[in-house]
Amino acid sequence: MIRRIPMDVAQVVAVIAVTIVGTVFIARESPPGPLPLWLGFVLLTAMSLPLLLLQRAPAMAVAAVVAGALVYQGLDFPGGASTIPPSIALFTVMSAGYRRLGGAGALVWLAGTLMLGWFGTRPPGVQGTVWFVTWLAAILILGEMSRNRREQLIAERERVAQAEHAREEEARRRVTEERLRIARELHDLLAHSISVINLQAGVSEHLIDRDPEQARRALGDIRRVSKEVLVELRGALGVLRDVDEGEEPLAPAPGMDRLPELVRRARSGGVEVDLTLPADCPALPKSVDLAVYRIVQEALTNIIKHAGAARAEVSVRCSGGELLVEVRDDGVGGTPGEGNGLVGMRERAVSLNGAFDAGPAPGGGFLVAARLPVRGLAA
């Protein structure tokens, strides 16, 4: 509810000036009263000054202005313009939301005016009474309409502010999600290749004197893997830099058709990997195809870095409208080192409404399993 009532000295001075000037013109057409007109000007000024208190003490201000108006009328000064200060007071408190105060002030003013008219020298008559009641009703109605309009404007500003805040929150959420997506993509892109490079570098360093030929092969693997990862990284950065949302990327994202390449890299890292792919699996959505590649890539990276395994099995099967991805090794069977690998794999599966599990495999080793629902796959 609106409670702020702006009323400064300049406005009150303007009210006093208009009231006095109006009274001067009305006095020319009215018979002179028993008291000098200048005293009426003093009363008009006195009844207008309480308007300054509307902000801090609205009830006191309304009471003082209405009482001053009744005293002015009771002393038989020229009327008309003298209704301006109390009218402003009632309109202002009504527009500020003080309905009871505005209604009470109007009733007191009406009752006092009628009593002064009936028992005074200038009875208002039926026409004057109707006019005055209509005037008071108009003041109250206009004040209420002003209040409603102000509250609507305030509510509209609040709705706009809330909508803007919601848009900003949504924008921040999307930026955060995009940052996480980019971080996950870069992690999946680099971790596997760098692990292979690190392993081959260690092999070449160890064999450089005893077996130069094997060391050269390891260095060749390093060069090949580093070249491949540079190509992938350049393509990923180009997509992030140049492709607008909703457009097709400049280069195809890796998918299940590139799993043999991952297996070859893992073998060059010293792990014998067996790969089983479905023979008749239909075309996959790009998101699922990429998820299969990244999950297998990260699982093989963990095997090379943490498992100490000699063999691994990668299996992809189509069954019951789902794509089943499993990566099993014969290593120590513990949890891979801390990092974003398992978290990223789980996020990829869950984002596609799939399931993910990773842990020690029955009989030893470690098992990574993901179930990715795909429409159109037959059992």
Answer with the one of 82, 103, 123 that is the final residue of a domain: 123
> Residue 359 sits in which domain range?
255-379
User: Number of folded domains in the chain?
Assistant: 2
Cβ neighbours for 207, distance < 8 A, ≥ 6 positions apart: 214, 215, 218
- Residue 60: CB atoms within 10 A of its CB come to 12
Given 123, 139, 166, the domain boundary residue is: 123
- Predicted pLDDT of residue 90: 93
**Is position 45 within any domain?**
yes
Residue 212 lies in a domain: no
Domain boundary among 71, 88, 123: 123
What number of helices (H) and strands (E) belong to the chain? Answer: 10, 5
Task: List, in sequence order, every residue forming a beta bridge with 244; answer none if it has no partner.
Answer: none
Beta strands at 311-319 and 272-276: parallel, antiparallel or unpaired: parallel
pLDDT of residue 298: 86
| CA dist., res. 285 & res. 374, Å (int) | 8
For residue 32, the model assigns a pLDDT of: 66
DSSP class of residue 279 equals S
Is pTM beyond 0.85? Reply is: no
Does residue 18 sit within a domain?
yes
b/e 138-158 (16+ beta carbons within 10 angstroms → b): ebbeebbebbeeeeeeeeeee
Give the pLDDT confidence score for residue 371 in this predicted structure: 92
- Predicted pLDDT of residue 325: 93
Contact present, 370 and 356 (Cβ < 8 Å): yes
Question: What is the reported pLDDT for 250?
Answer: 47
- Domain-located, residue 280: yes
What does the DSSP 8-state code read for residue 122?
S
DSSP state of 371: E
- Cβ-contact 66, 110 below 8 angstroms: no
Q: Rounded to an integer, what is the distance from CA 217 to the centroid of its chain?
A: 56
pLDDT confidence of residue 216: 75
pLDDT of residue 255: 85
- Cβ atoms within 10 Å of 271's Cβ, excluding its own: 23
| 186: in domain | no
Q: Please give the pLDDT value at position 121.
A: 60
Q: Flag whether 226 is in a domain.
A: no
Residue 247 lies in a domain: no
Q: Is residue 272 part of a domain?
A: yes
pLDDT at 374: 81
Which CATH number does the domain housing residue 274 bear? 3.30.565.10
* One pLDDT digit (tens) per residue for the chain, 379 residues: 445 555 578 888 888 888 888 888 887 777 667 788 888 888 889 888 888 888 888 899 999 999 988 888 888 788 778 888 999 999 999 988 888 998 899 999 888 888 887 776 666 677 778 888 898 999 999 999 988 898 899 889 999 888 888 888 888 888 777 777 777 767 666 666 677 777 677 777 777 777 777 777 777 777 777 776 676 666 666 555 554 444 444 456 788 888 998 888 888 777 889 999 987 777 788 888 888 998 998 888 888 877 677 888 999 998 878 899 999 988 766 555 545 578 888 888 888 889 999 988 887 888 999 999 886 554 4
